[in-house]
Amino acid sequence: MLAAPADHGAFVPGLRQQIPATAPGPLTGLSFVVKDLIDVAGTVTGGGNPDWSARQRQAAASAPVVTRLLQAGANLVGKTVTDELAFSLEGENAHFGTPVNPRCPDRLPGGSSSGSAVAVAAGFADLGLGTDTGGSVRVPASFCGLYGFRPSHGRIPMAGVMPFAPSFDTVGLLARSAEILAPAALCLLGSPRSAVRPCELHLASDAVEIADPQAGILLRQAAKQLGATREISIFAGSPGDYLEAYRVIQGCEIAAAHGDFLRGAQARFGPTIAPRFAGVLEIGAAAAARWRAWREQKAATLRRLLPAGRLLLMPTTPGIAPLRFLRGAEADQFYGAALTLGSVAGLAGLPAISMPVAELDGCPIGLSVLAGPGEDETLLEFVRSLAGSFVPR
């Protein structure tokens, strides 16, 4: 079994940034970490890549999401490692090392919010700020046995956050319990606590079919235990379309945001990340237009499936975390399946929470709960209401 370093490799190398809370509030006594894609005043936002970091200046001000947690009483205790410029779901970083998953040290932590998830799972912080474009909060939450919240697109400010694919980008949150996650997420949303409303739960059965067989059985059992009353299909027989639409649209937005850097001689990436960035520069305008039109139609369909008071359950990831140093065909298979599942919320701008609901071979598996756009508060209160009443099997 892998011997974990003292900090599990979760933190950005160097002096650990710490900022005390600026006011008392609902998060007094709690601590949080910040993914190295999010500005903290006086530090360089390094993006998980030394060549990118070398081009940046120290942030003059902290991102609003950092300020909101500080003003709510939480203390910042460090910045955390991210996959390079957020372009991964595995959690590896060829330059700074791969954070060690505290729950399964021989397996990947998940990315790209790998360091934030590991810091929270290891008990170094109560909360982890991350970003979620195609699953970068939800995947490490599933692999590390955490709760991971992705908000509705546009609900939480993105100022001071490095852009990746802006029509998908969100700032999300990681915590060990729903009781900690919910009030912190409400602080980020700027919302008061709301009453718990009865919710109808549907299970996306075709999403379960994408999961590994053993994981699918456990996740279906968990959905039934939660009270799922109906099984529905969301992919209309074509899950590959969701993956391709996400890949093309995301790629075009990455090229628009970072094309100059990607084309420059100074852009050096790890061996698993470099081909992904090279691929985004090859996407044509015709393909982008086609899939943007497809997205508009499918997003409307997904939103109609989720009126107020209805929640959708689906696997967060295909299964438990893969073993570290995933390569070749197995890596491609994992990435394709995980991104297909993660793309659903992103394509339609939906809020989602990954909950730890089961274990397989001693490693956690997450089940995601999705709500209609703007129904973040309902989703958070539903998940918080399960505390103490839902016992993972």
**Residue tagged active-site, from 31, 35, 62, 368:** 35
What is the three-class DSSP state of 75? strand
The DSSP secondary structure of 89-107, one letter per residue, reads SS---TTT-PPP-SS-TTB
C-alpha 90/C-alpha 67 separation (Å) is 29
Catalytically annotated residue among 62, 112, 116, 152: 112
112 carries an active-site annotation: yes
Q: Which residues of 67-96 are buried (b: 16+ CB within 10 A; e: fewer)?
A: bbbbbbbbbbbbbbbbbbbbbbbbbbbbbb
Query: Does residue 370 come out as left (phi exceeding 0), alpha (psi in the -120 to 50 range) or beta?
Result: beta
DSSP 85: G
Q: How far apart are CA 268 and CA 287, in angstroms?
A: 27
Q: Single out the catalytic residue among 31, 62, 136, 354.
A: 136
Whether residue 373 contacts residue 348, with contact meaning beta carbons closer than 8 Å, is answered with yes
Residue given tokens 């298979």 in the structure block: 333
Q: Which residues contact 95 (CB under 8 A, 6 or more apart)?
A: 48, 49, 50, 84, 270
Nearest of 390, 373, 392, 387 to residue 177 by alpha carbon: 387
Is 136 an annotated catalytic residue? Answer: yes
Give me the active site residues, please: 35, 112, 136
